[in-house]
Amino acid sequence: MDLDSLTTTSGEWLRGNGPESDIVISSRIRLARNLAQFPFPNRADDAARTEIESLLKDQLFDLAVGTRLSYVDVRTLNDLDRQFLVERQLISREHAESHGSRGVGISSEENLSLMINEEDHLRIQVLHSGFALDDCWKQIDQVDDAIEERVTYAFNDELGYLTACPTNVGTGIRVSVMLHLPALVLTKEIQKVFQALHKISLAVRGLYGEGSQAMGDFYQISNQVTLGKSESQIIAELKDVVPNIINYERRVRDALIQENRQGLHDQVSRAYGILKNAQTITSEETMHLLSSLRMGINLGLIDDLEIPTVNELFIHTQPAHLQKIRQESLESSERNIARAGYLRLRLTDDDDDRE
Amino acid sequence: MKKCSRCSKPSTLHITEIQEGVAQELHLCESCAKQYLAAPEPMTSESDEFAEKLSESVSEEESESYGQLVCPNCGITFKEFRSQGRLGCPHDYNAFAKELTPLLENIHGETQHVGKCPKRAPEASQKQYELIKLRGRLRAAIDEEDYEMAARIRDEINELEDEVHSSGDDD
């Protein structure tokens, strides 16, 4: 796969038109799987890791799942390309920063990725735009079945799929929904959401899942329990809980508009103004302002910009994406200038393109 | 017992923080730990968080007795598992069953899988675990340049792999 070509596109999951896509950015399901006859990656030496990689890679190539997979050898990539794949949500940070033989199979629509030699031998991930957990499950279940016909997974009747970390054992499933919750953050109501989710054993994380902080008011809600519940029960739990958070966010947005429409309109318009005109801007400020802008579009306060463009800007203004787009390595201060330039170009271009 | 990294009180919480791939050990007393946990530090990976919780939950005396436990297939000790939060091979779930059960109950509230099962169940799981052990021995023999031994183990592995494959491919 030519990673450079990805800088001109954005993943299918960013198209911003799935169910509830004003608040739900994306739905993701991942399965952790291991081969029965090898030690887990952290305990496997270089030779074993290479054997695991080539065995699984061979199986991926003739995987009949209705989509073509490209294989990227993560070991041979430079740091920038690895970071790029992390920003793209195609590999985890742990996979990028790990060592030894490892790689990832990626579908052309970027909604399926198969990480080899991450924490487990195989991490299958499916990512869809909007609130679409059933679609994710349907696809990932098929991919899992297709792989399982070719290899022997580590599994036992009592504990289910055996994983490197006992927090994943059983189904090996992690079901996550990425939510944009600017109004709950603005009114500090988000703390109540966290507390409520914590009580029912759901985890809240930032934009890039594990090991990231919530930036730009994006929160990933996911299950923690993987044993003693079936996949469909776990998915059903998320499907029960997430609409409550969506409604909560919408109610707070409506209240904000009613109480202080002008103030909110001002905040959103200022965010748009800075993004269109800044000469240097940090990643953090960009995320913050894009978040305001995104809410403004959804509330009808801004009408000359569309959600998919904003979704794409979130990803394309990240450090590795910027450097890939510019095809040069940039220091932090240079990136801030390049980021501002890219935002001016994209936001002004979009104005001109609109008819 | 180590002293708290932030004050001079004895430490009760031992944390391995991994930031940008660099591991840093922190030993904290109860009050500093509370402060530390309340601060919005960058989150670590789920497994690292789990390893932290593990080291909090096990006393030093307990860890001494656990330390002796070793998986006969991959050679990981229970102590190593506790510090890393990651097991060494699928067989560890048998080798450390007694110690893992309360942990699993604690994490998941249940200890019986009720979800999806592979259609091709690995009936010969004992043979699969044996393969892990043999592969480890093969590498050790090669490292020691004992090629005669390595060749014997290689034959054993091939034989076992054939058995596993023939039992798996019933169709």
Q: What pLDDT digit, counting tens, does each position of A18-56 carry? A: 889 889 999 999 999 999 989 999 999 888 999 999 999
Q: Is the pLDDT of residue A324 over 60?
A: yes
Residues 6+ apart with CB under 8 A from A122: A32, A33, A34, A35, A56, A114, A115, A116, A147
Contact criterion met (CB below 8 Å) for A104 and A71: yes
DSSP label at A153? B
Give the mean pLDDT of A227-242. Answer: 96
Q: Which two tokens stand for residue A132?
A: 């679409």
In this prediction the pTM is: 0.83
Residue A339's CB: how many other CB atoms inside 10 A? 25
Which of B18, B46, B117 is best to mutate for the A interface (most A CBs within 10 A)? Answer: B46
Contact criterion met (CB below 8 Å) for B89 and B77: no
Residues 6+ apart with CB under 8 A from A329: A80, A323
pLDDT score at A17:
76
Contact criterion met (CB below 8 Å) for B43 and A205: yes
Q: Is the dihedral of CA B105, B110, B116, B118 positive or negative?
A: positive
Beta-strand relationship, A122-129 and A155-156: unpaired
Q: In terms of Cα–Cα distance, which of A119, A122, A99, A110 is closest to A52?
A: A122
Res. A243 pLDDT band, cuts 50 70 90:
very high
More confident call, B36 vs A275: A275
Q: Does A230 touch chain B (CB under 8 A)?
A: yes
Q: Is the pLDDT of residue A82 over 50?
A: yes
pLDDT score at B27:
72
Q: How far apart are CA A334 and CA A337, in angstroms?
A: 5
More confident call, A174 vs A62: A174
CA distance B40 to chain A (A): 9
Give the mean pLDDT of B59-64. Answer: 59
Q: Is the pLDDT of residue A220 over 80?
A: yes
Q: Does A191 touch chain B (CB under 8 A)?
A: no
* A contact residues 278-337, partner B, Cβ 8 Å cutoff: none
Which has the minimum average pLDDT: A17-26, A224-233, B19-28, B137-146? B19-28
Q: Does A214 touch chain B (CB under 8 A)?
A: no
Q: Is the pLDDT of residue A210 over 60?
A: no
Beta bridge partners of A161: A155, A170
Which has the minimum average pLDDT: A216-230, A310-324, B33-47? B33-47
Q: How far apart are CA A166 and CA A314, in angstroms?
A: 34
Angle at B147 between CA B142 and CA B153, to 5 degrees: 80
Give the mean pLDDT of B96-118. Answer: 93
Which has the minimum average pLDDT: A51-65, A86-100, A139-153, A334-348? A51-65
pLDDT score at A26:
92
Q: Does B170 touch chain A (CB under 8 A)?
A: no
Which of B94, B103, B108, B113 is best to mutate for the A interface (most A CBs within 10 A)? Answer: B113
Give the mean pLDDT of A66-80. Answer: 87
What percent of chain A is predicted at pLDDT more than 70?
94
pLDDT score at A212:
47
| Residues A189-209 pLDDT 10s | 988 998 899 888 899 887 654
Q: How far apart are CA A162 and CA A34, in angstroms?
A: 7
